[in-house]
Amino acid sequence: MKYIDEYRKKDLILGVSSEIKKISKKEISLMEVCGGHTMAIHRFGLSSLLPPNISLLSGPGCPVCVSGQHFIDTAIAYCRQPGIILTTYGDLIRVPGSESSLEKEKAAGKDVRIVYSVLESLEIARKNPGCRIVFLGIGFETTAPLTAAAIVEASRHKLRNFHVLSAHKVMPPVMKALVQDGVKIDGFIAPGHVTAITGTGIYRDLPETFGLGVVVSGFEPVDMMQAILMLVRQIEAGKPGVEIQYQRVVQQEGNLKALKILNTVFRLADDHWRGLGMIPLSGMKLRPRFSAFDIEKVMPLGVPVAAEPKGCICGLILRGLKKPTHCRLFAKKCTPADPVGACMVSAEGTCATYYKYRE
């Protein structure tokens, strides 16, 4: 199968592994900031193919995981309002809030619907003119253009009962925040799907200001091993830069059409990340011209901020400071069937990945 089988060939994987071991001398920590990369590392056992001087850290790359508990509490508050139909992607429905979850609210009779595309939410709005439809917009630069396109479509067709609660975020500010927070990172494995939209310019500050290399990687084992090799070469040569391993998908300039609609609908704003706090200009909020589709502007609720679950260390895990196995709740009180923290919910969550591929 094109772009799958050839990137899983054992001889290629072991060949790259051998080259890494040959040239890697320094003690280095590399962080992947994509849940898809975290899954690939554990699914294919890539850490075992690296020399002991290379450590892989899992960062805040799962959009479900980094969406704050207050966002979940706000979503629950909206679904409890009369005349509201709340639509969401499937992973988000199981994330615990401070007192409930969307899954529990749905079981209790609230109109919470799982959709596979934001366009389904538009169709629900068309078929239910007497209700307000609230779509939970989560994800990074990859999914945000789809939400933006839906808002433009709703505006064009005057679907005034379609609204968005946005937790969309952008990746570069959190990468910089981790470095400024003192997390030991020598290079980043950057997400291929995000960079396919944004282009590589968003990472320019990392080598120029912080002296850190960035390699944009695909998601197959050969992709990941090659990206690590490219970072090792940068670090050993003392020449950090931004490179693309995932050249079959990613271009330097990104997707200009997607960027145009993204920038038309959204503006950057300070936003809260679970476990990391408020990060300046890291979130996407609707521009004033589209405020009629912003449910927080149309129907503000003022939901209070609640404390994170006791004993949960999702924040430390998302910052790469701890592993899930360091959490006293992991695999005991916190499992995929009964999650305590968000990192155990999504298939891209670090805790869920560790749980699935644990020995």
Asked if pLDDT for residue 339 goes beyond 70, the answer is yes
The edge-to-edge listing of strands for the beta sheet with 84-88 is: 112-114, 84-88, 132-137, 162-166
The tens digit of pLDDT for each residue in 225-258 reads 999 999 999 999 999 999 999 999 999 999 999 9
Residue 103 falls inside a structural domain: yes
Q: What is the CATH number of the domain that holds 106?
A: 3.40.50.11740
Q: Answer whether residue 153 is part of any domain.
A: yes
- Encode pLDDT of 162-212 as tens digits: 999 999 999 999 999 999 999 999 999 999 999 999 999 999 999 999 999
pLDDT mean over 118-147? 96
Q: What percent of the chain has pLDDT over 90?
A: 90
Domain membership flag for residue 358: no
pLDDT averaged over the chain? 94
Distance, CA of 256 to chain centre:
21
Predicted pLDDT at 248: 93
Q: Is residue 357 a part of any domain in this protein?
A: no
Domain membership of residue 107 (yes or no) is yes
Average pLDDT of span 80-89? 97
The answer to whether the CB of 210 falls within 8 A of the CB of 179 is yes
pLDDT for the residue 94: 92
Q: Judge whether 359 lies within some domain.
A: no
Determine the Cα–Cα distance for residues 135 and 147; give it in Å rounded to an integer. 9
Full residue range of the structural domain in which residue 253 is found = 1-297+308-350
Average pLDDT over residues 123-128: 97
Task: Look up residue 58 and give its two tokens.
Answer: 């899992």
User: Which pLDDT score, from 0 to 100, does residue 275 have?
Assistant: 83
Residue 154 confidence (pLDDT): 97
Average pLDDT over residues 306-315: 89
At 5-63, the pLDDT tens digits run 888 999 999 999 999 999 999 999 999 999 999 999 999 999 999 999 999 999 998 99
pLDDT at 2 over 70: no
Percentage of the chain exceeding pLDDT 70 = 99
Is the model's pLDDT at 3 over the cut of 70? Answer: no
Identify any residues that bridge with 55 across adjacent strands, giving them in sequence order. 29
Q: Is residue 250 part of a domain?
A: yes
Residue 121: what pLDDT? 97
Residue 303 lies in a domain: no
Amino acid at 216: V
User: What pLDDT was estimated at residue 158?
Assistant: 95
For 305, the 3-state DSSP assignment is coil
* 62 closest CA partner among 25, 96, 22, 33: 33
Is the pLDDT assigned to residue 305 strictly greater than 70?
A: yes
Sorting pLDDT into bands at 50, 70 and 90, what band is 142?
very high
Pair 72, 101: CB distance under 8 Å = yes
For the chain, how many structural domains are there in total?
1
